[in-house]
Amino acid sequence: MKIAIIGGGASGIAAAIYAKRNNEKNSVTVFERSDRVLRKLLATGNGRCNLSNEYISPDNYFSHTPDVVSKILSAFTPNEERLFFESIGLLLCSEDDRIYPYSKRANAVSDALRHECERLGVNIRTNSFISKIEEKGEKFVILGEVFDKVVISCGGFSAPSFGTDGNSFTLLKSLGHTITKTSYALSPVKVYENVKSLKGIRTNATVTLIDNGERVRQEQGELQLTDYGLSGIAVMQLSRLCKDGSIIEIDLMSVFSKEKLVEFLLTRKENFPHLKADDFLTGIMHKTLAQYILARCNINANIPAENLLKKDICALAQEIKALSFKVKSVIGKEQSQATCGGALLSEFDTETLESKKVKNLYCIGEALDCVGDCGGYNLHWAWNTAYITGKNL
């Protein structure tokens, strides 16, 4: 059986390994447009590769066909995943439920995958961009060569510098598949307010997305401020749902209720009457952020803390608990870590991910209409879908 895998990313390489293990007589060729496979994997998790999560649930994914996602997720057990990494010699560890290679180095994962491909005799052709898949009866012609089966694993349209520019969708469309509405997920967000002075600040926060007055989703985690807006895991998790005009509300001190925070600040005023207002919040939070909040409350930075009125204290508590920004846009393309939308899952058999439209055609990974949260969910999806297809090839 001659198998072509289009795209040498996480899902394509894992599928090649499964296909070869499944039947050593399978001839498996991975076509990769870049000069090496798994380039994106090296950048994941800030170079540490958060390759999965201890708790995988359909709730961590978004798709236009959530039932299909549930079925696919249930077919790949945590034990199956652990066995796969063990079988390529990769030791794992976890931190806050996120699973990493023990060395916390993404190249440990890419090297282990590449070595297993070499051992199994997977044929890897780099610098091979596939722009056309020609159907010939139940077979396919790719770069003049005939294949029995083709797996499309060329990702979505996020981070095009890693070779993923959405051409997978063009290929799939040319073969008769439906591509759902696509947008950028796991991205930073641009806001209308001028936040230039806050660039570089990182803090933990509870972040809530509000759309038309409705609290749509809340996340807790790292918040990063940039010269154009907001980033960090907590904001990236919400970005898929952000629209022009949505409000992002930040609680910088979720350990306090607003009432308790007012009490705390009033006591602080008693204890530190000599502090200038400018320094009143120093020691509680980043100084520049404290000054920004003071300015938003129209409080004169030069008055002593003892002159702060109860209404000033209440205004500070309000801003600290609900610092809000108006979303202008989601910063996509290179800064987005995953694509929302893709090949409509109901057009594929859930047991194998074979196309219901074109026999012997398969699609796996991010090219499918399913996107996960931050936390290893997207790479889990890549291994999961590779397993389903690979073990059936």
Ligand X SMILES: Cc1cc2nc3c(=O)[nH]c(=O)nc-3n(C[C@H](O)[C@H](O)[C@H](O)COP(=O)(O)OP(=O)(O)OC[C@H]3O[C@@H](n4cnc5c(N)ncnc54)[C@H](O)[C@@H]3O)c2cc1C
| Residues near ligand X, by CB under 6 A | 6-12, 31-34, 39-40, 43-45, 50, 128-130, 153-155, 158-159, 162-164, 167-168, 337-338, 365-366, 376-379, 382
Q: Token digits for 260? A: 């308790």
Q: How far is the CB of 264 from ligand X (least distance, A)?
A: 37
The residue with its CB nearest to ligand X is 9
**In angstroms, what is the minimal distance from the CB of 107 to ligand X?**
14
Specify the residue for token string 């995953």.
Answer: 338
CB of residue 42 to ligand X, shortest distance in Å: 9
Task: Show the tokens assigned to 99.
Answer: 């699973």
- Report how far residue 88's alpha carbon sits from residue 18's, in angstroms, rounded to the nearest whole number: 11
Which residue, 2 or 296, is less far from ligand X as judged by CB?
2
> Could you give the CA distance from residue 9 to residue 109 in angstroms, rounded to a whole number?
12
Q: 261 - beta bridge partners?
A: none
Report the residue number, 280 or 375, with the smaller CB distance to ligand X: 375
Backbone φ, ψ for residue 250 (5° rounding) = -115, 125
Q: How far apart are CB 228 and ligand X at their closest, in Å?
A: 18
Closer to ligand X by CB, 319 or 366: give it.
366
Give the nearest distance from C-beta 299 to ligand X in angstroms: 40
> Residue 20, SS3?
helix
Closest CA to 72 of 373, 367, 364: 364
Pairing of strands 214-225, 229-231: antiparallel
Nearer to ligand X, 53 or 291 (CB): 53
Is 158 or 350 the residue whose CB approaches ligand X more closely? 158
Q: How far apart are CA 100 and CA 92, in angstroms?
A: 6
